[in-house]
């Protein structure tokens, strides 16, 4: 008789509490191998394929595509153990306790066994012990949800009266838009109110259109007093979730917690551009990838941070201490179709410009294809933001919390410049440094920025730190 095991959404990275189901890779009745990817989810940091640690027959899936699930909630259940010879030997998964699992949760860290070809199993091959599981609710209760069971009894909402809602995400969405859940009729099993029901009601209220009979119009606000913000603002509603939501949360937290200040300077980048041309032309046609301007600026940053370590730090609010970090994990802003991400070059202080450039190229390509892992998007200690690629000269960057500083680089353009006592046309760039005023004063920040500008104008200065 098969043993039914439950696989819960694992913790996919630092500080992640939920993930959105993008695409199911298996269906109920499919045979899965240990560590076979079963679902593709999008977290606030990356798109990830989640492998199942059990081998057997999928008996239930929890959550439709587009649903957000908290970490620890059920993803699917698997019937482990052969029945009437229908399960291949390598999928039976039996062990000392009757079940075997790899314990791995991320693709690339599994047992390395090839994924079995997906196939259906005859319904009669699944024991009656698995049948109740397939009928269970597909909406988790909390991040620490117990084993799935029948739909719980309706829970009273903030107002009196029972509401058929078990998802805290649905309740939160309704509260944000001043919806009375008691006025909605759910489209889920046994009248369960789903996220789609709430979103339909919100859209109907904003557009002033009729709502489908199964979703009554939300209660109108009282005649007295100001109308709710959600009702007074018409237009397209775009949920702040996934990458966009993570960026919004981090930037808002940065503004709330960090007393930042910005200083900037113009620099003559003519010599830097000439040095780059010489480096890329020295190897001939058989040379490796070209060294980018961003890689050179990153190398300059690591040299500057060695001189001004105050800016490679973070603040421990609870201990009221500044923590100076020993390694430079250099983040760089990259704009992708999914939004702004900040991949991290590990141990940048031990790399030369060519090595940094190669790693930036690899991470940029992974960002464009949505294949960055959570580990490649976390742990940065300083960020380099090249907004010059958008054709702008300057900005006041928002610090990438919990870091202490960010260097912004504008476009490099020909401008009139006094060079050796004479007016000339030179390649000029504006550099701006936003820093946490708790970790240092303006003298340190100005010294860092001035050193960076000096290295841009005279790249030979870098030889002193090599």
According to DSSP, the β-strands at 260-268 and 18-24 are unpaired
Asked if 419 is an active-site residue, the reply is: no
SS3 of the chain: the string is CCEEEEEECCCCCCCCCEEEEEEECCCCCEEECCCEEEEEEECCCCEEEEEECECEEEEEECCCCCCEEECCCEEEEEEECCCCCCCCHHHCCCCCCCCCECCCCCCCCCCCCCCCCCCECCHHHCCHHHHHHHCCCCCCCCCCCCCCCCCCCCEECCCCCEECCCCHHHHHHHHHCCCCHHHCCCCCHHHCCCHHHHHHHHHHHHHCCCCCCCCCCCCCCCCCCCCCHHHHCCCCCCCCCHHHHHHHHHHHHHHHHCCEEEEEEEEECHHHHHHHHHHHHHCHHHCCCCCCHHHHHHHHHHHHHHHCHHHCEEEECCCCEEEECCCCCEEECEEECCEEECCEECCHHHCCHHHHHHHHHHHHHHHHCCCCCHHHHCCCCEEEEEHHHHCCCCCCCCCCCCCCEEEEECCCEEEEEEECCEEEEEEEEEEEEEEECCCCCHHHHHHHHHHHHHHHHCHHHHHHCC
Q: Would you give the distance in Å from CA 308 to the centre of its chain?
A: 30
Catalytic, out of 177, 329, 419, 437: 437
Give the C-alpha distances (Å, rounded to integers) separating 385 from 86, 333, 342, 427, 431. Answer: 56, 5, 9, 19, 10
The residues carrying an active-site annotation are 437
């Amino acid at each position: 008789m098969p043993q039914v095991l439950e696989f819960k959404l694992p913790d996919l990275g630092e500080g992640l509490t939920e993930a959105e189901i993008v695409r199911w890779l298996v269906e109920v009745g499919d045979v899965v191998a240990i560590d076979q990817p079963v679902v593709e989810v999008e977290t606030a940091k990356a798109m990830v394929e989640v492998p199942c640690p059990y081998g057997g027959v999928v008996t239930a899936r929890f959550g439709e595509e587009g649903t957000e699930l908290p970490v620890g909630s059920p993803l699917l259940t698997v019937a482990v153990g052969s029945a009437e010879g229908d399960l291949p030997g390598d999928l039976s998964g039996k062990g000392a306790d009757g079940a075997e699992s790899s314990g791995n949760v991320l693709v690339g860290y599994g047992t390395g066994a090839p994924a079995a070809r997906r196939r259906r199993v005859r319904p009669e091959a699944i024991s009656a012990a698995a049948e109740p599981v397939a009928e269970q609710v597909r909406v988790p209760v909390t991040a620490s949800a117990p084993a799935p069971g029948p739909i719980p009894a309706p829970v009273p909402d903030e107002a009196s009266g029972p509401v058929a809602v078990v998802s805290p995400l649905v309740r939160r969405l309704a509260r944000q838009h001043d919806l009375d859940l008691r006025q909605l009729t759910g489209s889920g099993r046994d009248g369960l109110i789903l996220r789609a029901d709430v979103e339909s009601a919100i859209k109907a209220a904003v557009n002033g259109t009729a709502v489908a009979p199964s979703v009554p119009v939300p209660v109108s606000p009282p005649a007295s007093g100001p109308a709710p913000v959600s009702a007074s603002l018409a237009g397209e509603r775009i949920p702040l979730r996934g990458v966009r939501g993570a960026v919004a949360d981090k930037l808002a937290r940065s503004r709330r917690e960090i007393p930042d200040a910005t200083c900037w300077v113009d620099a003559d980048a003519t010599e830097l551009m000439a040095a780059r041309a010489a480096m890329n032309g020295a190897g001939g046609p058989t040379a490796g990838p070209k060294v980018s301007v961003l890689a050179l600026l990153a190398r300059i940053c690591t040299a500057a941070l060695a001189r001004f370590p105050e800016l490679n730090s973070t603040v421990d609010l609870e201990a009221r201490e500044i923590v100076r970090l020993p390694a430079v994990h250099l983040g760089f802003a990259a704009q992708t179709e999914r939004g702004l991400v900040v991949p991290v070059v590990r141990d940048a202080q031990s790399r030369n410009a060519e090595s940094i450039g190669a790693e930036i190229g690899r991470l940029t390509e992974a960002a464009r294809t949505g294949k960055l892992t959570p580990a490649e998007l976390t742990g940065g200690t300083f960020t380099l933001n090249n907004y010059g690629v958008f054709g702008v000269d300057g900005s006041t960057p928002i610090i990438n919390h919990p870091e202490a500083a960010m260097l912004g680089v504008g476009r490099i353009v020909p401008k009139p410049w006094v060079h050796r006592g004479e007016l000339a046309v030179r390649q000029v760039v504006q550099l701006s440094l936003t820093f946490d005023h708790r970790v240092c004063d303006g003298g340190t920040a100005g010294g860092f920025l001035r050193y960076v500008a000096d290295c841009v104008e005279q790249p030979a200065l870098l030889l002193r730190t090599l």
